[in-house]
Structure 1
Amino acid sequence: MKMREYLQFLSNTKSMEELWSAHTERMASYGFDRLLYGFTRYRTSTSLGDPEDFIILTNHKPEYTQTFIHEGLYFHAPMTRWALENEGAGSWRYVGEMFDGKVLTKEEQRVIEFNLGMQVTAGYTISFKSVSMRSKGAIALTAHPGMSQDEVDEIWAEHGRDIHLMNNIAHLKILTLPYSAPNRNLTKRQREALEWVGDGKTTQDIALLMGLTSATVEKHLRLAREALSVETTAQAVLKAAMHNQMFVLEA
């Protein structure tokens, strides 16, 4: 598939699964067989927010993501720090330079040792342009096991601009697609109730519109708050809207 055809395909994908399957295959054709994409809207000066609220897409093995993501190793990764401080594409040669210069913290050194054991040793990180102070997105492109950073840098010298463009388009498209973190899926009824709240309807109004009792509507809204891990219905509407889970066109 030619570049223009691929970008057109990306822009027309209807689901996260469709996009991610195509994108991992495309990046593998350049030598990057493992990808890790992350996006947060809840960044602060000391935190990237609750990992349960991240958009995480990856084709790494579960044993890698369990430690790197769910046990918080990502927060101390040198290229995570680089991505937070920069925008654009960065060679992982930066990590080697830090290691050679002995400026790694104990936590960062642990990340390096873990990655070495998982054959995550060469690649590039793309840090996407932020649209707000609290949002940040990046993708780590890991090269095939056995590839050196010199080989990866050669690939980037020849194809880097195309790879960067494709990832930028993929990132922008991801932000428009419905996404729900594991165990945070809304049912159709919960989503419908939130949509009516977003339209300014009262509980009594929603009960009439949905053909339910007010108590049942309140139950759907409570379960929606629990599913999204928020305290108020207003917060639930905001989070569902941010994750494109409201006013979704049925397939």
Structure 2
Amino acid sequence: MSLRAYLHAIARCPSLEQLWETHTQRMAEYGFDRLIYGFTRYRTSTSLGDPEDFVILTNHTREYTDEFLHGGLYFHAPMVQWALAHDGACSWAVLHEMTRERAMTPAEERVVEFNRHIGVHAGYTVSFKSISNRSKGAIALTAKPGMSQGEVDAVWAEHGSDIQLMNDIAHLKILTLPYSTPSRALTPRQREALEWVGDGKTMQDIAVLMGLTTATVEKHLRLARDALAVETTAQAVLKASFANQMFVMDV
């Protein structure tokens, strides 16, 4: 697939599933057969937010994601820390330098050792530029088994500009597509009630528009707040908007 064909395909993707399939196939052509993308809008000085609110896309094995993501190793991963402090692309050769110089903390060393054990030892990280201090996104491109970091760096020297561009465009497209984890999913009625709140309607207005009682409308809004793990309806509207779950077109 040419760069132009890839960009056209990504621009027209109607879903995250289709985008991710297209992107992983394209990255595999350069030798990156395992990817993990992460994005948060809830970053603070001490946290990246609730992991349930992260946008996570990956084709790594369940064995890897259970430990790296759900086990919390990601928070101590040196390349994650690099991505939080930088924009652009970085070779994982920096990890070898940190190891030689003994510049890692014990927690970082555990992450690196886990990655080596599971075959994640050569690759590149791309950190995306943010316009908000609450949001951050990055993608880790893991090289296929048997590919050395030197070989990865040679690929990047030849194709890195195009690879970074494709990841930047994929990231921007991801931000426009609906996303929800199973625990954050809204029912159609919950979504509709939030949409009317977002339009500035009163409870009485919403009840008439939805053909329900005000008590039933409040029930839908309460369940929406519970699903999104927020305390107020205003927070629910904001979080649903962030996840592109509001005013979604059927495609």
TM exceeding 0.5: yes
Map of 1:19 onto structure 2? 19
Residue by residue over 1:53-103, the C-alpha shift from the partner in whole angstroms, topping out at 9 and shown as x without a partner, is 110000001111111111110000000111111110000001110011001
Q: Does residue 1:205 correspond to 2:205, yes or no?
A: yes
Give distance in 2, aligned partners of 1:215 and 1:85.
47
Q: Does residue 1:168 correspond to 2:163, yes or no?
A: no
In structure 1, runs of 5+ residues without a counterpart are none
TM-score by length of 1: 0.99
Map of 1:234 onto structure 2? 234
Report SS of the residue matched to 2:38.
strand
Give distance in 1, aligned partners of 2:109 and 2:3.
38
Question: Aligned-pair distance for 1:2?
Answer: 1.5
Identity %: 71
Map of 2:8 onto structure 1? 8
Question: Aligned-pair distance for 1:182?
Answer: 2.7
Report SS of the residue matched to 2:89.
strand
Map of 1:135 onto structure 2? 135
Map of 1:55 onto structure 2? 55
Q: Does residue 1:64 correspond to 2:75, yes or no?
A: no
Residue by residue over 1:136-189, the C-alpha shift from the partner in whole angstroms, topping out at 9 and shown as x without a partner, is 000000000121100000010111111000000000000000011232111111
Question: Aligned-pair distance for 1:235?
Answer: 0.3
Residue by residue over 1:13-63, the C-alpha shift from the partner in whole angstroms, topping out at 9 and shown as x without a partner, is 110001001100110111000000000111111111111111000000111
Report SS of the residue matched to 1:183.
helix
Give distance in 2, aligned partners of 1:182 and 1:21.
20
Q: Does residue 1:107 correspond to 2:107, yes or no?
A: yes
The one-letter code sitting in structure 1 at the alignment partner of 2:153 is D
Map of 1:144 onto structure 2? 144
Question: Aligned-pair distance for 1:204?
Answer: 1.1
Give distance in 2, aligned partners of 1:56 and 1:167.
15
Map of 1:220 onto structure 2? 220
Give distance in 1, aligned partners of 2:79 and 2:87.
12
Residue by residue over 1:99-154, the C-alpha shift from the partner in whole angstroms, topping out at 9 and shown as x without a partner, is 11001111001001100111000000000001211110000000001211000000
The one-letter code sitting in structure 2 at the alignment partner of 1:77 is A
